[in-house]
Structure 1
Amino acid sequence: MATLNDVFVTLFPDRPAGKDPFAQAPFMPTDIFAYVAHLLERSGAYHHIVPEVPSEPHCPYRRIVVDDAMRARARDLGRTWRRSPIPPGRLLPPVPGTVEALWLDLGQFRDVPVFVQLNDRAEAPGWWARCLELMMICDEACEDIGFDTGNPFFAMVSEPYREGEGFERVQHGPFSLSSAAEDLLCVQAKSRTPSVGCTPRSLSHHLALLPPRGQVRARWVDPLFADGAKVEERQLGLLLVPFPYRVNDEAFRPAGIDPGDHFGWFTVEQTWLPLNDDKYRRGLLVDFVLGLVAEARAKGARVDGVVLPELALNFEQFSSLARALAKDAEIDFLVSGISSDKSKREGNFVAIMPFFLLGAERDPEITGWEGLILIREKHHRWKIDARQIKDYNLVGLNRRRNWWEQLTILRRSLDLLVYRGNTTLTTLICEDLARVDPCQAVVRGVGPNLLIALLMDGPQIRDRWPARYATVLAEDPGTSVLSLTSFGLIARQNDVGEFPESRSVALWKDEKSGVCVLDLPAENDAIVLELEAVDKEERTLDGRRDHGSAIRWQYGRHLPIAGRKVPEWIRSGTAPQKSSSDQDAR
């Protein structure tokens, strides 16, 4: 059985050989957090933690009781550690003496096994309370880490990632705030603390213990420059463009069949997009989206972000649209599913152009921003079965076999973007929302304030899978979830006629509101979803408050938007497959 000493040596293999790991506490609170949080989880000690209730009858069973004095001590020590002056010649504030004493005290248990089967009425091992107190202090020391550039511990970790040319350095955000071996665990900043359940995630406000980097990479991306004027704004408007509006018969095609004829590979041909060398029609598609932005604002709606669904664009079309939106100072970001990355590798990706990372430096004439485009791939292949082939009338696929999306999955990663100083924004692609795997562990651990899931799916209604999984994340950790699908497969299902006709292209769920279904009325092309930021106080499992520092994005309203002079091929889903400069707008 591994001992406390064994675990430390394993987690921190780069520490000088022969040096007693408990002779001196690590300089970084994130390193202490990594170690003690891992011990509390690995031993099962975390679920014995309860806040003290003075009037409660005596409990004969094992508990780690946290009282007001322990909480106050953790807050005071954490604040002192974070705010202490950095001595000359040093890079970090000194470790408080009380933390050093607790660390030295923990060392007396170095040869104790991490896990021991205990009798129900046995006392809690002595090291459990030491680990808990150290975890609480380190969590408090890291208040606003990842959000406040003045936090000395985040500056220490993130500075090496600032190297590089121009905006390309945003591609190198830290995957862990700890020096612990990343093939065993990672530590990342945190946005939301679950208000339900009894898990290790419930024990911290500011730091999250995450899976190893090999399972999933969680990259923290904070603004490159000082925040701009929108930091204090509490309203957010998203223009949702459910393009393509039609998916023709040629879009879903076989790409290979296994020798036993049990399954096949399929690909999705983006027949709704003009050719890359057709600059005229590519420009028309850009103008179409810009026109929707203008129409939305003309109706009194705000548009801060533009969102398109899974596989809506390719990289070239995404870049063209981003280039046009860059000139609009009110647009903070563009998110879309794309079919290839910057290297032209084909697949299923989500791209985000986060203009907000430029902060106050943003200028309509700024150049080189293309280096800010963040792209990550889908984590799971779509499996199409006979039922889906029938429901969507996918005539190009044989119903006698299952079909898997032809994807090469090179890596699993999530980008967690700091937005407006106090929000984290991330994206998922279709099945990534539903599958229980390390990606979900990151979402639940960090608790992003806003999650956008891009789909190519059927109607976004209360009874289908996106609503179920959005509800789960809205409850734990409290993440607000938007799912958006293109209208194309909904239209095909409506044509089949076996289900009630639907125009539900998006769905919103936050911690407070019920499931909100967003319908696209006929003759409309987009929806504006307006959200409001609300402060929320959260408590950890040990009873510590965050004094209302958490942010929840709540539903405000939504309204449909119709485009003007829309080219027929945009709505029909079949773009002419040869270059042309003919005026085809109607």
Structure 2
Amino acid sequence: MKAVLPEGTNPKPLWQEVAEHWDANDQTAERDRKLDPWRLAPMVPTDLFAAVGYLSKVSGLIGFFDPSPYRTDNEQCEFTLTKEQRKAADQAASAWREESAQGVPPEFVQELWECLLDCWGKDITSGSYLETGEGPPDWWRTALLLVMIADMACNRILRDPLRVYGVGPFEDWMKLLYQTTLNRSDVTGSGEHHDRPPPSLGIMADSSVVCVLPKVRVSPVGATMRNVSRNLSLLPGRSEVRCFWETPINVAPAESSDSLDILLIPEPRKISAADFIESGFTENQDPDRHYWMKDWSTFRINQTWITKGAARDRFLNLCELLITRAKKESRTINGVILPEYALDWDTFQKLCERLKEKEPSLDFVISGTSEDCNHRHGNHVMTRIWYIGEDVELTQSRRKHHRWRMDRSQVENYALTGALNPRIKNWWEDTPLTQRQVHFQRFRERSVFAVLICEELARSEPCHDILRSVAPNLIFALLLDGPQIKQRWPAQYASNLADDPGSAVLTFTSYGLIDRANEQGHHTANRSIALWKDDTGRVVEIGMPQGGEMAGVVLSLWSDQVIDRTITGKQSEALSWRYASHVPVTVSLGS
């Protein structure tokens, strides 16, 4: 508890005032004054959730919880919550949300908190309780009840701008926290800002130990902390992965108003072997290089499709034509997505400006880039979101979490042997990693998307647990890869995230490497550039259109109302995005 709340449960002036009152009235004279900073229950439910959620996680008590209220405790330490206890938790959470309470925890919360304090020095691990055969300790049930209360006290926090699900003080408190952290008044003349939202919704909880963010869906399988809560997600400390929950300044459009129509642009359509360049070495190479770098080297990608001659202007002109053509297939193009390494920063900037001019209703643009917004090299994902009714746009970038390792078979399959020596077993992507980040973008009232870059889809560390905890409605995976078909690795890992936490996943690659692999003739030619997988099990392969100088696909989605349920029996209304259709679009200059 001290690790999560090192300065106490509430600001120092508050607990000191209470301690002085106790001293003046000779109350709890025998108390351990060293515990005074923690004697009051946290006034902010996100702090309570951070502390007791962390305690529940590290103790492993969730594994001993039986979801049925009709079971009884046993000597194997299994325990349950009765119907009366669950109703009491509901009532306490409801009372805490009331405006009249001004955030003061109900008496029941303080009573439960004091029960935890009475067990301050007891073992936290489950093994010691299993050995005694005395059954589950009382503090396990207490901790779980407090987790439930804190979670329900934050009902739909930062996800209910119209207050459809009721009012409460905590939404305003969290917005104030965001405004203080973001300093949104410091906006550039263009209406753009790059500020970082807070890493956690906690006030007193140490975000280097544990973070708390809003939650979108409840995982339908498993028995962990993410199956317990429906409004808050428990995440690792910010040093391991820095997470961003971006909440819009204004009310986002409702899902029911329109479908979500996204233009997919699978560029580069052509990629040359010469675009892959060995990097990191000079002509006077260290003679010991092959000792220290046995069987491996590094490469970079030269983006000739946007950097060579007048290529950038031609590329931008074609993208303008493509979105104009796409608008004939949809009332509104809501988003535009390009794959891994498609753009650099300058091209991304210009593309966003020109696309927004052609489609004023555009909500977002997502692309893989070779630079961040400060022109620093690396493999990045760039996102721009425009807010409804305000001349403000948010641009965010982050680096890839894992480097691409291209082995000899891939070099041969993509016919890159003229640029990357096949005698070297493994070619590693030359990109810095630095601090890992995950961005969650709320782009509709009840919809959030996250973006992965290639290997992040396949590697569970460090972000998959975070994705499963926050459970965004949509996950876009940007790739530089081969065909997106059911039999290959992207489909397998997309299925994992579609099953748990129930997100809809779109994997999307450029056509360049698909084309090179098809030309080799080693496998049956396939033109699939994208693959859709959702929690219903539906899989859709989306092919590359034929013809034109530039081609794209208009992907149409619709939102379905679903009911999620926690293992403690709480229901949560959520939205799941469903595939509706896709339409190919092609353009040529001068046509």
Q: TM-score range by the shorter chain?
A: 0.7 to 0.9
The alignment status of 1:264 with 2:297, answered yes or no, reads: yes
What is the CA deviation profile of residues 482-529 of structure 1, one whole-angstrom value per residue up to 9, with x for unaligned ones? Answer: 111000000000111101111000011110142211111322611111
The whole-number CA distance in structure 2 between the counterparts of 1:437 and 1:331 is 33
What is the CA deviation profile of residues 315-335 of structure 1, one whole-angstrom value per residue up to 9, with x for unaligned ones? Answer: 111100101122322211000
Partner of 1:23: 39
Q: Residue 533 of structure 1: which of 559, 564, 575 is its match? A: 559
Identity %: 33
The whole-number CA distance in structure 2 between the counterparts of 1:433 and 1:420 is 24
Residue 423 of structure 2 aligns with an amino acid whose one-letter code is R
Query: Within 5 A, what are the aligned runs for 1:423-572?
Result: 423-523=447-547, 525-546=551-572, 548=573, 550-565=574-589
Describe the SS at the equivalent of 1:294: helix
The whole-number CA distance in structure 2 between the counterparts of 1:423 and 1:483 is 18
Partner of 1:4: none
Alpha-carbon offset, residue 94 of structure 1 = 1.4
8 Å Cα contact 1:202/1:541 also seen in 2: yes
The verdict on how the C-alpha distance between 1:58 and 1:176 changes in structure 2, with shifts beyond 3 A counting, is closer
The whole-number CA distance in structure 2 between the counterparts of 1:498 and 1:252 is 21
Alpha-carbon offset, residue 64 of structure 1 = 2.1
Query: Within 5 A, what are the aligned runs for 1:58-457?
Result: 61-85=76-100, 92-117=102-127, 118-119=129-130, 122-149=134-161, 151-164=171-184, 165-166=186-187, 171-178=195-202, 179-224=204-249, 226-230=250-254, 232-256=256-280, 258-260=289-291, 261-275=294-308, 281-300=311-330, 302-327=332-357, 328-355=359-386, 358-361=387-390, 366=391, 369=393, 372-394=394-416, 395-401=418-424, 402-457=426-481
Alpha-carbon offset, residue 97 of structure 1 = 1.4
The verdict on how the C-alpha distance between 1:485 and 1:528 changes in structure 2, with shifts beyond 3 A counting, is same
Q: Residue 12 of structure 1: which of 5, 8, 13 is its match? A: 5
Residue 127 of structure 1 aligns with an amino acid whose one-letter code is W
Residue 396 of structure 1 aligns with an amino acid whose one-letter code is A
The whole-number CA distance in structure 1 between the counterparts of 2:344 and 2:2 is 47
8 Å Cα contact 1:64/1:129 also seen in 2: yes
Describe the SS at the equivalent of 1:112: coil
Describe the SS at the equivalent of 1:65: coil
* Structure 2 gap ranges (5+): 13-32, 162-166, 282-288
What is the CA deviation profile of residues 293-324 of structure 1, one whole-angstrom value per residue up to 9, with x for unaligned ones? Answer: 22222134642100000000111111001011
8 Å Cα contact 2:200/2:213 also seen in 1: yes
Residue 541 of structure 1 aligns with an amino acid whose one-letter code is I
Q: RMSD in angstroms over aligned alpha carbons?
A: 2.1
8 Å Cα contact 1:513/1:555 also seen in 2: no
The verdict on how the C-alpha distance between 1:497 and 1:142 changes in structure 2, with shifts beyond 3 A counting, is same
- TM-score by structure 2 length? 0.87
Alpha-carbon offset, residue 74 of structure 1 = 2.1
Describe the SS at the equivalent of 2:307: coil
Residue 124 of structure 2 aligns with an amino acid whose one-letter code is V
8 Å Cα contact 1:51/1:67 also seen in 2: no
8 Å Cα contact 1:79/1:140 also seen in 2: yes
Residue 58 of structure 2 aligns with an amino acid whose one-letter code is R
Alpha-carbon offset, residue 58 of structure 1 = 9.1
Q: Return 211-220 or 117-126, whichever deviates more.
A: 117-126
8 Å Cα contact 2:228/2:567 also seen in 1: yes
What is the CA deviation profile of residues 112-137 of structure 1, one whole-angstrom value per residue up to 9, with x for unaligned ones? Answer: 11114133854111100000000000
The verdict on how the C-alpha distance between 1:202 and 1:429 changes in structure 2, with shifts beyond 3 A counting, is same
- TM-score by structure 1 length? 0.88
What is the CA deviation profile of residues 342-370 of structure 1, one whole-angstrom value per residue up to 9, with x for unaligned ones? Answer: 21111110101111xx2222xxxx4x74x
The whole-number CA distance in structure 1 between the counterparts of 2:540 and 2:213 is 31
The whole-number CA distance in structure 2 between the counterparts of 1:57 and 1:214 is 41
Residue 462 of structure 1 aligns with an amino acid whose one-letter code is K
Alpha-carbon offset, residue 416 of structure 1 = 0.6
The whole-number CA distance in structure 2 between the counterparts of 1:290 and 1:85 is 54
The verdict on how the C-alpha distance between 1:19 and 1:199 changes in structure 2, with shifts beyond 3 A counting, is closer
Residue 111 of structure 1 aligns with an amino acid whose one-letter code is G
The verdict on how the C-alpha distance between 1:240 and 1:168 changes in structure 2, with shifts beyond 3 A counting, is closer
The verdict on how the C-alpha distance between 1:500 and 1:444 changes in structure 2, with shifts beyond 3 A counting, is same
The whole-number CA distance in structure 1 between the counterparts of 2:211 and 2:252 is 30
What is the CA deviation profile of residues 535-583 of structure 1, one whole-angstrom value per residue up to 9, with x for unaligned ones? Answer: 111111111112x2x1111111112111132xxxxxxxxxxxxxxxxxx
Alpha-carbon offset, residue 439 of structure 1 = 1.2
The whole-number CA distance in structure 2 between the counterparts of 1:20 and 1:57 is 35
Alpha-carbon offset, residue 62 of structure 1 = 2.8
8 Å Cα contact 1:183/1:212 also seen in 2: yes
The verdict on how the C-alpha distance between 1:102 and 1:169 changes in structure 2, with shifts beyond 3 A counting, is farther
8 Å Cα contact 1:485/1:505 also seen in 2: yes
Q: Residue 51 of structure 1: which of 59, 67, 70 is its match? A: 67
Alpha-carbon offset, residue 444 of structure 1 = 0.9
Bigger RCO (CA 8 Å, 6+ sep)? 1
8 Å Cα contact 2:256/2:559 also seen in 1: no
8 Å Cα contact 1:428/1:451 also seen in 2: yes
Partner of 1:38: 54
The whole-number CA distance in structure 1 between the counterparts of 2:90 and 2:174 is 19
Alpha-carbon offset, residue 52 of structure 1 = 2.4
8 Å Cα contact 1:82/1:152 also seen in 2: no
Partner of 2:164: none
Aligned pair count reads: 539
The verdict on how the C-alpha distance between 1:238 and 1:124 changes in structure 2, with shifts beyond 3 A counting, is same
8 Å Cα contact 2:447/2:473 also seen in 1: yes
The whole-number CA distance in structure 2 between the counterparts of 1:302 and 1:503 is 27
8 Å Cα contact 1:201/1:208 also seen in 2: yes
